[in-house]
Amino acid sequence: MSPPLGQGYGYGIVVGFGAFFSIFITILWMIEKRYSGVVATSEEYSTAGRSIKIGLLASSVVSAWTWAATLLQSSSVAYSYGVSGPYWYAAGATIQVLLFAILAIEVKRKAPRAHTFPEIIRARYGDTAHKVYIYFGLCTNMIVTAMLLLGGAAVANNLTGMNIYAACFLIPLGIIVYILFGGLRATFLTDYIHTVALFVIILVFGFTVYATSNKIGSPSKMVDLLNYASRDTGPPGNAGHSYLTMDSYGGIIFGIINIVGNFGTVFCDQAYWQRAFAARPSATVHGYLIGGLCWFSIPFFLATTLGLAGVALESDPDFPTYPDPMSSGDVSAGLVAPNAAVCLLGSSGAVAILILVFLAVTSAASAELIAVSSLITYDIYKAYFKPTASGEEIMKACQIATVCFGIFMGVLAAVLNKIGITLGYLYLLMGIIVAPAVIPIAFTLTWSKQNTLAAIVAPLVAFGFGLMTWLVTAQGLYGTITLTSTGANMPMLAGNLVSLLSSFFITVPISMMNPQDYDFETTKAIDLVEDEKAVTVMEYDASVEEDPVALEKALKFAYGWAWALTAVMIFIFPLPLLGQHYVFNKSFFNFWVTIGFIWAIGAAFTTIIYPVWESRAGIVRIITGITSEMSGTPPPKPYESVVELKAVSNDETIHDVDSSEKIVKTNTV
């Protein structure tokens, strides 16, 4: 197919949007720094002062979890399996964020001053275990980054003819700039802006497909077109060979692989831990639960829209591959949604999907970039090369790591593309590589009996078992080991399950033979960089936010809601539809689409309006400061500062109170 847009669109969006966001986000961060009292320290760079509230945390979780795969692979599985694909993609990648809320609040209870999850591992188990989990953390970040750039570059190439290798290298450039200046706080600002744009574009596609398009225009017409598409060769393994059923063998297999793989890319991804460290204690649980539920709407609604439209419109003369169906390579590369968008809206659809994917890639990539810089700085440079590094030295190390990994991003994506690794292949593979570390990481904060030997041995042996199972299954079923055979569903399913579950069956017996009975005192002793303790400002009352009783209550809330929502999404809701072999009629599909609309609109309001309302006092303070300076009068001080610091012990605080709020300076020396 010839690209619907010229190369100028590709370079214009990748370079132009990248430059715009670099400048815009840098300016926003400088304004906040000037008028809100933000101090540019390594602690601020890596944890945003540990002051993020519920709304912004939820918005950031949505943005960081919206990868290129969220938009592209979800539509590909809708094209392959019908309505079950979007559901299993969304549910299978939401429950991990919900369950991570438990670990996030445990961090606040048991390692409140940590910067990275391997730092917690080291405090509990020592250097050997620490190095094992640095490996799994960096592997996770590299896999996620590769998927982001592979998907983004493939779409840019498909829609504009832009050189795919140029896209791999140009996409990260703009991200590097604003992270160098603003660190994690800059990524929160970017996440919010990207989330706004994501929901606007997704809802535009939804209203186009189900309300205004002359090609579809209603859920009823979509049902007719899907039934027509499945008249001869509908999805094999689906009830009635229909696209309109949850009873899909392929969909269920994908769902299991999706669930396993995404446990690895949440629990082992420093980007999620980074947000937990950055959140206020009172915001942590609600931020992750709300963020997870809001994120569900993105792959579910978008794939139910564009993924099914790809099936329904494939015989339309305006479809880019007409009269041929899409090849399996196109589907695996994530080109279902772009092709459907072009058929629906022509060049406007191509521009919209290109912007949508670019925003998703850059936002999630910024989270990965700051995550890797923290791992390299705190877990390699500070841990083994310069334990006495000052805050200034740590910040420089973070910035150097940011630049180096930003360049490495492009190299990695280009190499994978050259050898033929697609977005879909990598998405299915990721659980085999990173899921072995999930159970030991979770037990580090939730089970006092896991011992050091188990924490070291379990993930390494489980990784070997998973890798062996994957390759042996491919050889046994297909007689050869190739990209095609190893990328098939059954080898991927077997490898993913063994990688995740075998670590559980290894760590539990080893730990029970010699239980550690750990009291978490060494993780609680993780502290801030020595020369930054006096200037680290947390915008909350520590006596309230860090109250053990309140944190225990939040933990119980997290356990209850996270597991309840998981049970509903994975078992209670889908199983009746599976057991009945039910094929949707027009009324039920209309209900299905309506739920998608309501969920997406509710998520949009929650992640767009709530953060603004929650930060209204700070926004007013910034506007007042700007207008005061423009009128020639000195801006009001953001906060009253401590004139004289006195020596206090670590469990004491100095309180500064002005007319607006209380500021607590912790660990003052």
Query: What average pLDDT does the segment 180-192 reach?
Result: 82
Is the bond into 112 cis (omega within 30 degrees of 0)? Answer: no
pLDDT in the model for residue 416: 86
Query: pLDDT, tens digit, for every residue of 204-244?
Result: 999 999 999 999 999 999 999 999 998 877 898 999 999 99
Query: pLDDT, tens digit, for every residue of 99-131?
Result: 999 999 999 999 999 999 999 999 999 999 999
Q: Is residue 405 included in any domain, yes or no?
A: yes
Residues 6+ apart with CB under 8 A from 74: 85, 86, 89, 90, 299, 300, 302, 303, 307
Q: Is residue 87 included in any domain, yes or no?
A: yes
Residues 6+ apart with CB under 8 A from 378: 46, 115, 116, 119, 394
Q: Is residue 342 included in any domain, yes or no?
A: yes
Helix (H) or strand (E) holding 657: strand 653-657
Task: Tell me which amino acid residue 573 is.
Answer: F
Q: Is residue 80 included in any domain, yes or no?
A: yes
Q: Please tell me whether residues 137 and 231 are part of one structural domain.
A: yes
Query: pLDDT, tens digit, for every residue of 141-171?
Result: 999 998 888 888 888 998 999 999 999 889 8
Tell me how many degrees the CA angle 419-434-140 measures, rounded to the nearest 5: 70
Helix (H) or strand (E) holding 654: strand 653-657
Q: Please tell me whether residues 373 and 480 are part of one structural domain.
A: no
Where a domain ends, among 497, 517, 537? 517
> d(Cα 29, Cα 392) in Å, to the nearest integer?
19
Q: Is residue 1 included in any domain, yes or no?
A: no
pLDDT in the model for residue 450: 98
| Contact indicator for 220, 58 with CB cutoff of 8 Å | no
Query: pLDDT, tens digit, for every residue of 344-402?
Result: 999 999 999 999 988 888 888 888 999 999 999 999 999 999 999 988 899 899 999 99
> d(Cα 60, Cα 56) in Å, to the nearest integer?
6
> d(Cα 375, Cα 380) in Å, to the nearest integer?
7
Burial class (CB in 10 A: 0-12, 13-18, 19+), 341: buried
Alpha helices in 233-346 (DSSP H): 249-267, 270-278, 281-302, 308-312, 328-332, 336-345
Look up the pTM and report it. 0.89
Q: Is residue 2 included in any domain, yes or no?
A: no
> d(Cα 463, Cα 135) in Å, to the nearest integer?
12
| Three-class DSSP category at 377 | helix
Q: Indicate if the pLDDT at residue 654 is higher than 50.
A: no
pLDDT in the model for residue 1: 64
Helix (H) or strand (E) holding 370: helix 347-376
Where a domain ends, among 517, 542, 557? 517
Q: Indicate if the pLDDT at residue 517 is higher than 50.
A: yes
pLDDT in the model for residue 493: 93
pLDDT in the model for residue 531: 61
Burial class (CB in 10 A: 0-12, 13-18, 19+), 188: buried
pLDDT in the model for residue 533: 60
Where a domain ends, among 501, 517, 533? 517
**Phi-psi category of 82—alpha, beta or left, where left has phi over 0 and alpha has psi -120 to 50?**
left
Helix (H) or strand (E) holding 663: strand 662-666
Q: Please tell me whether residues 496 and 420 are part of one structural domain.
A: no
Q: Please tell me whether residues 339 and 274 are part of one structural domain.
A: yes
Q: Please tell me whether residues 55 and 125 are part of one structural domain.
A: yes
Query: pLDDT, tens digit, for every residue of 582-634?
Result: 999 999 999 999 999 999 999 999 999 999 999 888 888 888 888 888 887 76
Alpha helices in 419-451 (DSSP H): 423-434, 438-446
> d(Cα 101, Cα 115) in Å, to the nearest integer?
17
Q: Give 344's Cβ-side CA count (13 Å radius).
A: 31
Domain limits for position 367: 7-448+518-666
Q: Which residue is listed with tokens 């996770």?
A: 140
Of 32, 66, 27, 25, the residue nearest 51 (C-alpha): 32
Task: State the total domains in the chain.
Answer: 2
Cα–Cα distance list, 608 to 48, 192, 340, 422, 524 (Å): 20, 7, 27, 33, 35
| Three-class DSSP category at 254 | helix
Q: Please tell me whether residues 497 and 559 are part of one structural domain.
A: no
Query: pLDDT, tens digit, for every residue of 481-504?
Result: 998 899 999 999 999 999 999 999
For residue 590, the domain's CATH number is 1.20.1730.10
Q: Please tell me whether residues 130 and 277 are part of one structural domain.
A: yes
Q: Which residue is listed with tokens 């709300």?
A: 290
Q: Is residue 262 included in any domain, yes or no?
A: yes
| Contact indicator for 310, 79 with CB cutoff of 8 Å | yes
Q: Is residue 590 included in any domain, yes or no?
A: yes
> d(Cα 409, Cα 487) in Å, to the nearest integer?
23
Q: 248 phi and psi, to 5 degrees? A: -130, 115
Q: Please tell me whether residues 481 and 443 are part of one structural domain.
A: no
Q: Please tell me whether residues 379 and 488 are part of one structural domain.
A: no
pLDDT in the model for residue 557: 97
Q: Indicate if the pLDDT at residue 657 is higher than 60.
A: no
Mean of the per-residue pLDDT values of the chain: 88
Q: Please tell me whether residues 158 and 50 are part of one structural domain.
A: yes
Query: pLDDT, tens digit, for every residue of 529-546?
Result: 766 665 555 566 677 788
Q: Please tell me whether residues 531 and 508 are part of one structural domain.
A: no
Q: Please tell me whether residues 437 and 500 are part of one structural domain.
A: no
| Three-class DSSP category at 601 | helix
Q: 665 phi and psi, to 5 degrees? A: -105, 115
Query: pLDDT, tens digit, for every residue of 57-114?
Result: 999 999 888 988 888 889 999 999 999 999 999 999 999 999 999 999 999 999 999 9
